[in-house]
Amino acid sequence: MKVLQINSVCGVGSTGRIAADLHTFLKQKGDTGWIAYGRGEARGCDAAIGIGGTADNYAHVALTRLFDRHGYGSRGATRRFLKQAEELSPDLIHLHNIHGYYLHIGELFQWLKQSGLPVVWTLHDCWAFTGHCAYYDFAGCTRWQTGCSHCPQKGAYPSSRLRDRSAENYREKRELFTGLSNLTLVSPSECLAGEVRRSYLKGIPVAVIPNGVDLDVFHPSPDGVRERYGIPPRDFLLLGVAGVWEERKGLPYLLRLKELLGEGYRLIVVGVDEKQKAGLPADVIGLSRTESTAELAALYSAADLLVNPTLEDNFPTVNLEAMACGTPVVTFRTGGSPESLDGFTGRVVEKKDVPGLAAAIQEIRHLGKPAFTAACRDRAEKMYDQKRSYAQYYALYQTILQK
C-alpha cells in the first residue's frame, strides 16, 4: 500500500503530528508513504515533499488578504507537486488541511478527479464546507447551511481585508468537493460529523475516527514542575493550554476564574505570545507555545486540573493529553470538546458560564485529583491511544482499496 498524505504542515502542530505519526504507523506495517506539506520545516517524516516555498506562501497570503481567494493561489507550485505525485504513483490520497496558503484547490481536485484515485479527507475543522471560515460557532453563523454571503468573519482566518467572496467561494468549493465519486470523509468527532451531514457534503460517506495521543509520551510524569515555578503543594494548580490563544480559545474566561476562586489556586497558561504574557495578572504564569511533548506531559501531570474554556472546537487534543497524564478536565459545552469526557474524568459546563466553571473546579478540588486519575488514564488507554486511531485509519484504507 502506498499512501500520499497532504497537509499544511508536517510533524508540527496537532495536524502535522497526526500526519507524521500515521506515516510512521504505515512504515511499521511494511507499507510506503509520503507527506506533502506547505509551510515550515518537516519533522517526523523521512519522506516529506515540500510544496512551493516562502515566496509562494506570501503571494498566496496577499491573494487572500486582498481578494478573498484563499485556496486559489499557488497554481504553479501545485502543478509541480502534482507531477511529482504522478511519478510516485500512490494507491490512495489522504488529505488533511488543504487550506493554509500553499495549494490551489482547483488544480488539486481536477487532478484527483482525473486520476481516479481513492481519497480519504480528514476534516480537522469546518473550512471544507464554508465560503470562508474554518469555524463559525463563535460568530453564531448558519449561512454555510444554505449558501454563504456577507460573511461576518471576513477578517477571521483566512483573513480578507478587502473583498468578500464568500458566496462565490461557497459555490466553487461545493462544485469541487462534491465532484469525486471515490471520496471518504473522516471526522474526529461526532459533533463535526453531524455538521458535515447538514452541509453540501452530506451525500459523501463520513466516518468518525477520534484523534489519539502517544501514551508512551503522555503519562503521569510531573518532573518537578511545581518546584520549578515555586508553586506550593497545597495550592490547587490549574492549567490552560492552546497552540494559539486566539479569541475563540477563551483566554479571558480562564483569567476571570482567578477573581471567583480566590486564594489557594495557581494558574499556568501555555501558548501565550509576548503581548499576552505581558498582560497576564502577576500571579499567573505564562509560557510560550512549545513543541516539546515531554514538557507538555510534565505540565499536564503536575496540574490538578486542565481548564479548557474553548468557545469553538472540533475535538481538542489537549483534553486527551491531560487525561493520558491522569489529569481531569473542565470544559465548556462547545463543539466536540465534551465528547472525550465522562463523569469520572471531568466536568462540562455551559458555554461562557464562568461561575459554573468555577463551581466545577471547586467540586473537583473537594473530591481531589486522585479520585479522577485512574479513570482518566483508563479512558485514554481504552479510547484515545493513537495506535488505536491509526489502526482504524489503516482498516479504512484497506476497505476502500478492496472495493
15 confidence band (pLDDT: 50, 70, 90): very high
The phi, psi pair for 36, rounded to 5°, reads -95, 130
> Residue 235 half-sphere exposure, CB side, CA atoms within 13 Å?
22
> Residue 210 half-sphere exposure, CB side, CA atoms within 13 Å?
24
What is the reported pLDDT for 222?
Answer: 80
Query: What would the grid cell of residue 33 be?
Result: 508513504
Query: What would the grid cell of residue 89 be?
Result: 504513483
Query: What would the grid cell of residue 11 be?
Result: 510533524
Q: How many helices (H) and strands (E) does the chain have?
A: 14, 13
Distances (CA, A) of 240 to 91, 110, 340: 41, 42, 17
pLDDT at 230 > cutoff 80:
yes
What is the reported pLDDT for 340?
Answer: 95
Q: 55-66 pLDDT, tens per residue?
A: 999 999 999 999
What percent of the chain lies above the pLDDT cut of 70? 100
**206/186 Cα distance (integer angstroms):** 5
Residues 6+ apart with CB under 8 A from 246: none
Q: 179-192 pLDDT, tens per residue?
A: 998 999 999 999 99
Q: 211-221 pLDDT, tens per residue?
A: 999 999 999 98
Burial of 237 (0-12, 13-18, 19+ CB in 10 A): buried
- When pLDDT is averaged across residues 378-385 and rounded to a whole number, the result is 96
* pTM of the full structure: 0.92
**280/285 Cα distance (integer angstroms):** 8
Q: Of 202, 140, 162, nearest to 66 (Cα)?
A: 162
Looking at every residue in the chain, the average pLDDT score rounds to: 95
3-state DSSP percent of the chain in helix, strand and coil, to 5: 40, 15, 45
**Ordered structural domains, the chain, with CATH:** 2-212+386-402 (3.40.50.2000), 225-383 (3.40.50.2000)
**288/269 Cα distance (integer angstroms):** 9
Question: What 3-state DSSP class applies to 376?
Answer: helix
Question: Quick one: how far is CA 66 from the chain centroid?
Answer: 27
Q: 160-184 pLDDT, tens per residue?
A: 999 999 999 999 999 999 999 899 9
290 confidence band (pLDDT: 50, 70, 90): confident
Asked whether the beta carbons of 40 and 54 are under 8 A apart, the reply is no
14 confidence band (pLDDT: 50, 70, 90): confident
State the amino acid at position 325 in one-letter form: C
CB atoms within 10 A of CB 311: 19
Which sign does the torsion angle of CA 320, 321, 324, 329 carry?
negative
- Beta strand segments in 275-315, E: 284-287, 305-308
Query: What would the grid cell of residue 256 be?
Result: 476571570
Query: What would the grid cell of residue 59 be?
Result: 503571494
What is the reported pLDDT for 65?
Answer: 97
CB atoms within 10 A of CB 1: 15
pLDDT at 1 > cutoff 90:
yes
The β-bridge relationship of strands 284-287 and 329-332 is: unpaired
Asked whether the beta carbons of 308 and 319 are under 8 A apart, the reply is yes
What is the reported pLDDT for 85?
Answer: 97
- When pLDDT is averaged across residues 328-355 and rounded to a whole number, the result is 95
Question: Quick one: how far is CA 282 from the chain centroid?
Answer: 30
Q: 90-113 pLDDT, tens per residue?
A: 999 999 999 999 999 999 999 999
**184/204 Cα distance (integer angstroms):** 7
258 confidence band (pLDDT: 50, 70, 90): confident
- When pLDDT is averaged across residues 357-362 and rounded to a whole number, the result is 96
How many residues does the structure list for the chain?
Answer: 403
282 confidence band (pLDDT: 50, 70, 90): confident
**53/16 Cα distance (integer angstroms):** 17
State the amino acid at position 136 in one-letter form: Y
pLDDT at 198 > cutoff 80:
yes
What is the reported pLDDT for 241?
Answer: 96
